[in-house]
Structure 1
Amino acid sequence: MIAGPGTALLTDARVRLSPEAERIDTRGEPPVWRAELPDGSAAWVASGYDAARRVMTDTGFVKPAVRGGERWTRYLGFTAPEVTDSIVRSMLNTDGDLHRRLRELGASAFTPERVRAAVDRAGAMADGLLDEIAGRGRADLVREFAHPFGVRAITELLGYPDDFVRRALELRRWGPSPLFDPPGSPDREQYAADREAMSELLHDLVDFRRRRPGADAVSGMIAHADAAGLDEGQLTSTLFLLLVSAYEPVADFLTSGLYTLWHRPDLLAEPARIIEGLDELLRYTSPLAATMPRFAVRPTELYGARLEPGDAVIVHIALANRDPRRFAAPNRLDLTRDQGQDLVFAHGPHFCLGSGLAVGLCRTALGAVLRRLPGLTAAQPLDTLPWQRGSTGGITHLHVTAGLTALPVTFQPRHAVVS
C-alpha cells in the first residue's frame, strides 16, 4: 500500500504550505501507507487523522526503547553508547511506567509559574533581538532571530548560567536526525559531532549544578531525578528534549508561517487577524510534523494496512491535520476556523509537555516580527528557500519538525524601538 497521489504531494512542505494545496483532494486515499527507506527497508506512515490518534494511544504500538530491535538501535546509535545514552533516553522514546517517571521529571521544570514567566519575558527578548537588525533592512531570520530567541527563552526558563547559554547559542540548530542514512554518510557524521557537543554541554551543566545548586529548574530536576532513582543519562536526555523541543518548533513555525503568509498577501496585511487565528495557522503549518517511530507488538489491522510485530509506524501529524475526513476544506488556511482537537502537539500519553510554552513563544515571535519589520519579504524567490531535509518529500530523514534552514529577508529599516 503506497501513498495516494494527493498525499504524496502534501508530504512536500513547499506544496502543503502554498495555495496549490487547496486544489488537492485526498478523499479516498489510504490513511496508512508504506514508505521506502534509504537502507532498503520500509516503515508504515499513519497520515489519516483517526489512524494517527489510534497509533498514539494504542498500547499495541510502543516506542523504540521498549521494542525497537537491533536495526532501530543501530539507527539511533550515531555516537559511542555513553554519548547516545545521554541524548536518547528521554520520555520521547519510552512508554509505560518509565515514561511516566521521565515525564514527571520534565514537568518538574515546566511548572505553570515558570512557563507564564517565560512567556511574559519573551516579548522583551524578541524586541531586543529585533533591535539589533531593525536598522539594517535585511537579515537571516533563522540565524539572527528565531534560533537565538528560542534558545534564550528555554535556557532562561531552565535557569542556565550565562556561560552555558553562550555555549547553547554556539551550537548549530539541531537539524534533521538522519536516522535512515547509511553508516558513514556525511549527515550522520555531522549529526554525531553535534550530538557529542550537546552531550558535553549537558553533562557539564549537571556537574555545575550539582556543585552549585540553586532555585533554578535544572537544580530542581537533579534533585527530582535523584529522588526518583533516575540515572544521569535519563536526566541529560530529558534536559536535551526540553531544550530542543522549545527552540526547534518555534523556529520552524516562524519560517513555515511566513512562507505561508507570503503566498497570501491579503492575510499578511492584517497582523492582528493572524495572531487571533494562531490556532489555525498552527494546524495549517503543523511545526511538529511527524513523530519518532513506534513499533507494532502484535499482528494489527490498521485502517486497511496489515502490520506485523516489529513493524515501524511513523505518525505524520502534518498530514493528519489535513485529513478531509476530519476537517472541512483542510488544505485551506481559514483563520476563522474553529477546528478543535487538532494534533498540533500530538495526542495521548506523549502529548507535548511544553505545548503552552510553545504556543506562547510562537505567538510572541510571529507578532514581534510582523510588528517590528514593516514591508517584510523574502530576499529570494520562495521556491528557492532552503528547507530542512525531510520537509520536502520522502522520508529520507526523520525530521520531527519541518521548516527552513535559513530565511533571508528584507524590510524597511528603522531604528525606533516599539515597546
Structure 2
Amino acid sequence: MTAGPGTALLMDARVRHSPEAERIDTRGEPPVWRAELPDGSTAWVASGYDAARQVLTDSGFAKPAVRGGERWTDYLAFTGKEVTDSIVRSMLNTDGDLHRQLRELGASAFTPERVRETADRAETLAETLLDEIAGRGRADLVHEFAHPFAVRAITEHLGYPPDFIRRALELRRWGPSPLFDPPGSPDRARYAADRTAMSELLHDLVAFRRGSPGPDAVSGMIARADAAGLDEGQLTSTLFLLLVSAYEPVADFLTSSLYSLWHRPDLLADPARVADGLGELLRYTSPLAATMPRFATRPMELYGAELAPGDAVIVHLALANRDPRRFTAPNRLDLDRETGQDLVFAHGPHFCLGSQFAVRLCRTALGAVLRRLPGLAAARPLDTLPWQRGSTGGITHLHVTAGLTELPVTFQPRHAVVS
C-alpha cells in the first residue's frame, strides 16, 4: 500500500504551503501507507487524522526503538554509546513509568511563572535582534533572526549562563537528524559531530550547575533528577529535548509562515488578522511535520494496513492536519477557521509539554517581524528558497520538518527603535 497521488504531492512543503495545494483532494486515499526509506527499508506512515490519533494514543504502539529490533536501535547510534545515551534517553523514546518521570522532569522547567517571564523577555529579545537589521533593508531571517531568537529564548528560559548561550548559538541546527540515511552517509557523519558537540555542551552545563546551583530551571532539574534516581544521561537527554522541541518549531514556524503568507498578500497586509488567526496558521504550517517512529507491539489492522509486531509507524502530523475527512477545505489557509482539533503538537501521552511556551514564542517572533519590517518580501523567487532536506520529498529524516534553511528578504529600511 503506497501513498495516494494527492498525499504524495502534499509531502512536498513547497506545494503544501502554497495555493497549489487547494487543488489537491486526498479523499479516498489511504490514511496509512508504506514509505520506502533511503536505505531501502520501509516504514508505515499514518497520514489520516483518525489513524494518526490512534497511533498517538493506542498502547499497542510503543516508543522505545528496541521494540523495532536491532535495525532501529542501530539507527540511533550515530555516535559511541556514551554520547548516544546522553542525547536519546529522554521521554521522547520511553513509555510507562519512566516516561512519566522524565516528562515530569521536563515539565518542571515550564512553570507558568517561568513561561510568563520568558514571554516578556522574548518580546525585548525580538526587538533587539530586529534593531540590528532594521536599518539595512536586507537580511537573512534564518541566520540573523529565527535561529538566534529561538536559541536564546529557550536557553535564557532554562537559565543557561552567558558562555553556554554563546556555545549553543555557535552550534549548527541540531535537527532534523538523518535517521533514515544509510550508515556512512555524509549527513550521518555531520550529525554525529553535531551530536558530540551538543553532548559536551550539556555535560559541561550540568557540571557547572552542580558546582554553582541557582534558582534557574537547569539547577532545579538537576535536583529533581537526583531525587528521582535518574542518571546523568537521562538528564542531559531531557535538556537536549527541551532545546530542540522549543527551537525547531519556532524557527520553522516563522519561515514556513512567511512563505505561506507571501502567497496570500491580502493576509500579509493585515498583521492583526494574522495574529488573531495564529492557531490556523500553526495547523496550516505544522512546523513539526512528523513524529519519532512508534512500533507495533502486536499484530493489528490499522485502517487497512496489516501490521506485524515491531513494524515502525511514523505519524505525519502535517498531513493529518490536512485530512479532508476532518477539516473543511483543509489545504486552504483560512484565518477565520475555528481551531482546536489539530495535531500540531501531537496528542496523547507524548503531547508536547512545551506547547504553550512554543505558541507564545511563535506569536512574538512573527508579530515582531511583520511589525518592524515593512514591505517585507523574499529576496529570491519563492520556488528557489531552500527547504530543509526531508521537507520537499520522501521521508528522509527523523523529523520531516517544514522550515527553510535560508530566508533572504528585503524590506524598507527603518531606524532602530529607541527605548
Q: Shorter chain as normaliser: what TM range?
A: over 0.9
Conserved in 1, the CA contact under 8 Å of 2:66 and 2:72? no
| Mapping of residues 180-199 of structure 1, within 5 Å | 180-199=180-199
- Which SS does the other structure have where 1:87 is aligned? helix
Alignment-derived partner of residue 210 in structure 1: 210
CA distance in 2, matches of 1:401, 1:100: 26
Q: Give the superposition deviation at 1:64.
A: 2.7
Give deviations 1:373-417, integer Å, cap 9, x for gaps: 011011101001010011001012232532001101111111141
Which residue identity is paired with 2:412? Q
Sequence identity (%) = 87
- Across the aligned residues of Structure 1 and Structure 2, the Cα RMSD in angstroms comes to 0.9
- Which SS does the other structure have where 2:389 is aligned? coil
Which residue identity is paired with 2:408? P
CA distance in 1, matches of 2:80, 2:40: 25
Conserved in 1, the CA contact under 8 Å of 2:86 and 2:234? yes
Alignment-derived partner of residue 5 in structure 1: 5
Alignment-derived partner of residue 323 in structure 1: 323
CA distance in 1, matches of 2:356, 2:175: 23
Alignment-derived partner of residue 235 in structure 1: 235
Task: State whether structure 2 residue 362 is matched by structure 1 residue 344.
Answer: no
Give deviations 1:14-40, integer Å, cap 9, x for gaps: 000000000000000000000001111
- Which SS does the other structure have where 1:409 is aligned? strand
Give the structure-1-normalised TM-score: 0.99
Conserved in 2, the CA contact under 8 Å of 1:66 and 1:94? no
Conserved in 2, the CA contact under 8 Å of 1:327 and 1:339? no
CA distance in 2, matches of 1:144, 1:168: 15
- Which SS does the other structure have where 1:402 is aligned? coil
- Which SS does the other structure have where 1:301 is aligned? strand
Q: Give the superposition deviation at 1:288.
A: 1.3
CA distance in 2, matches of 1:288, 1:143: 19
CA distance in 1, matches of 2:181, 2:111: 38
Alignment-derived partner of residue 53 in structure 1: 53
Q: Give the superposition deviation at 1:68.
A: 2.9
| Mapping of residues 296-315 of structure 1, within 5 Å | 296-315=296-315
Q: Give the superposition deviation at 1:116.
A: 1.2
Which residue identity is paired with 2:251? A
CA distance in 2, matches of 1:125, 1:139: 17
Q: Give the superposition deviation at 1:310.
A: 0.5
Task: State whether structure 2 residue 128 is matched by structure 1 residue 136.
Answer: no
- Which SS does the other structure have where 2:133 is aligned? coil
| Mapping of residues 66-81 of structure 1, within 5 Å | 67-81=67-81
CA distance in 2, matches of 1:284, 1:407: 19
Which residue identity is paired with 1:340? G
Alignment-derived partner of residue 332 in structure 2: 332
Q: Give the superposition deviation at 1:112.
A: 1.1
- Which SS does the other structure have where 2:67 is aligned? coil
Conserved in 1, the CA contact under 8 Å of 2:11 and 2:392? yes
Conserved in 2, the CA contact under 8 Å of 1:172 and 1:194? yes
CA distance in 1, matches of 2:400, 2:264: 26
Task: State whether structure 2 residue 177 is matched by structure 1 residue 177.
Answer: yes
Conserved in 2, the CA contact under 8 Å of 1:45 and 1:316? yes
CA distance in 1, matches of 2:131, 2:221: 34
CA distance in 2, matches of 1:206, 1:50: 41
| Mapping of residues 93-112 of structure 1, within 5 Å | 93-112=93-112
Aligned length: 419
Conserved in 1, the CA contact under 8 Å of 2:65 and 2:295? no
CA distance in 1, matches of 2:221, 2:83: 20
Structure 2 residue ranges without an equivalent (≥5): none
CA distance in 1, matches of 2:29, 2:68: 29
Q: Give the superposition deviation at 1:418.
A: 7.1
Task: State whether structure 2 residue 288 is matched by structure 1 residue 264.
Answer: no
Alignment-derived partner of residue 42 in structure 2: 42
Conserved in 2, the CA contact under 8 Å of 1:389 and 1:399? no
Which residue identity is paired with 2:360? G
Conserved in 2, the CA contact under 8 Å of 1:202 and 1:236? yes
Q: Give the superposition deviation at 1:183.
A: 1.1
Alignment-derived partner of residue 148 in structure 1: 148
Task: State whether structure 2 residue 362 is matched by structure 1 residue 362.
Answer: yes
> Would the alpha carbon gap of residues 223 and 65 (structure 1) be closer, same or farther in structure 2, given more than 3 Å must change?
farther
CA distance in 2, matches of 1:252, 1:267: 19
Q: Give the superposition deviation at 1:175.
A: 3.0
CA distance in 2, matches of 1:16, 1:371: 26
Alignment-derived partner of residue 281 in structure 2: 281
- Which SS does the other structure have where 2:306 is aligned? strand
- Which SS does the other structure have where 1:34 is aligned? strand
Structure 1 residue ranges without an equivalent (≥5): none
> Would the alpha carbon gap of residues 336 and 380 (structure 1) be closer, same or farther in structure 2, given more than 3 Å must change?
same
CA distance in 2, matches of 1:118, 1:276: 21
CA distance in 1, matches of 2:343, 2:14: 20
Give deviations 1:225-246, integer Å, cap 9, x for gaps: 0000100000000000001111
Q: Give the superposition deviation at 1:94.
A: 0.7
Alignment-derived partner of residue 32 in structure 2: 32
